[in-house]
Amino acid sequence: MGPLAVGVDIGGTKVAAGVVDARGRVLRRTRRDTPHRSKSPRHVEDTIVAVVEDLVAHGDDVVAVGIGAAGFVAADRSTVVFAPHLSWRQEPLRESLGRRLALPVFVDNDANAAAWAEHRFGAGRGESHLVMVNLGTGIGGGIVLDGRVVRGRFGIAGEFGHMRVVPDGLRCECGNRGCWEQYASGNALVREARALMSANSPVATDLFARVGGRPEDLTGPLVTEAAREGDALARELLGEIGRWLGVGIADLAAALDPGTFVIGGGVSAAGDLLLGPARQAFAGQLTGRGYRPSAKIVQAELGNEAGLVGAADLARVGAAGMAWADAGDTAMPSGGAAVPADGT
């Protein structure tokens, strides 16, 4: 089973954690709501400490704790520069938690952690050059090239949702116009469906029925459910999201040239209703199409646990690297799987 690590996935609504082995299996889980008392750094920190202590109290041989944070994590992998759904601003999270937990702590962006998990244990197993695109409320992602997580000079690589795909397009929450996530995200899917419902379009009859005539109650999973059950409008809307997805990943292919794109996040639950149009648009937009190999586009396999599994594995690898460095060695064990000698 190899050394164990705790992974903690911190979002705006929940703190999920688990004990993870060297094969990516979650042996024990716990979950708590993200504190709503202003979501202050101290309150969230208390919750993280509580879930970790709850897990290690069972006596498992845990060697490290990995934190996957929904926000910008500095290149030092210690400081959360900015978290949109929490009050973290230049928060020294690794130092703060390190003072309270008797274990090495490693911090990373949650999308980086999810990409690493899919690379090691999920849909990207065996792929050295992988890009993960997470379609949720917005769009996030992670990059693994040559088997290493690419974080960028300042630690903020992978914010794909804010690539501008439409000059002077729809206004984005980030302040710019035309960002990719305004066209290929869960928010975009629900926005378009609600617009037709609010206009009393006859093509939205089925969606109206599903929410009792209240457009404000419509959610992305409901649109996906309707599409799976044959609703023409829901299928059309998912197809549009998929086409925009394909356009964006063609741009990413031009820049990064991965072998595989792994599509995760809540919207990916639509499967081929989303990925079919994405693959078609990608094939039509890819630079050098017809004269170059084309990346695979696959659905993520690890679901909601990808973040905590990846955070735990990055921490386990990092702790092993620390131990071997202390011993004066130049290589590092990996629980039976090849990983970079610097722990990514």
Asked if the domains 4-117+303-326 and 127-299 are classified in one and the same CATH topology, the answer is yes
Judge contact between 132 and 310, C-beta under 8 A. Answer: no
- What is the 3-state secondary structure of the chain? CCCEEEEEEECCCEEEEEEECCCCCEEEEEEEECCCCCCCHHHHHHHHHHHHHHHHCCCCCEEEEEEEECCEECCCCCCEEECCCCCCEEECHHHHHHCCCCCCEEEEEHHHHHHHHHHHHCCCCCCCCEEEEEECCCEEEEEEECCEECCCCCCCCCCHHHCECCCCCCECCCCCECEHHHCCCHHHHHHHHHHHHHCCCHHHHHHHHHCCCCHHHCCHHHHHHHHHCCCHHHHHHHHHHHHHHHHHHHHHHHHHCCCEEEEECHHHHHCHHHHHHHHHHHHHHCCCCCCCCCCEEEECCCHHHHHHHHHHHHHHHHHHHHHHHHCCCCCCCCCCCCCCCCCC
> What confidence score (pLDDT) does residue 137 get?
87
What are the residue boundaries of the structural domains of the chain, listed by start?
4-117+303-326, 127-299
pTM over 0.85: yes
> What confidence score (pLDDT) does residue 39 get?
56
> What confidence score (pLDDT) does residue 267 get?
95
DSSP string covering 287-305: TTTTSS---EEEE-SSGGG
> What confidence score (pLDDT) does residue 83 get?
82
**Which numeric CATH code is attached to 4-117+303-326?**
3.30.420.40
**Which numeric CATH code is attached to 127-299?**
3.30.420.40
Tens place of pLDDT per residue across the chain (344 aa): 678 999 999 987 789 999 999 999 999 999 998 886 555 778 889 999 999 999 999 877 899 999 999 889 998 889 999 887 777 899 999 999 999 998 999 999 999 999 999 999 999 999 999 999 999 989 999 999 998 999 999 999 999 999 999 999 999 988 999 999 999 999 999 999 999 999 999 999 999 999 999 999 999 999 999 999 999 999 999 999 999 999 999 999 999 999 999 999 999 999 999 999 999 999 999 999 989 999 999 999 999 999 999 999 999 999 887 654 454 544 333 333 444 434 45
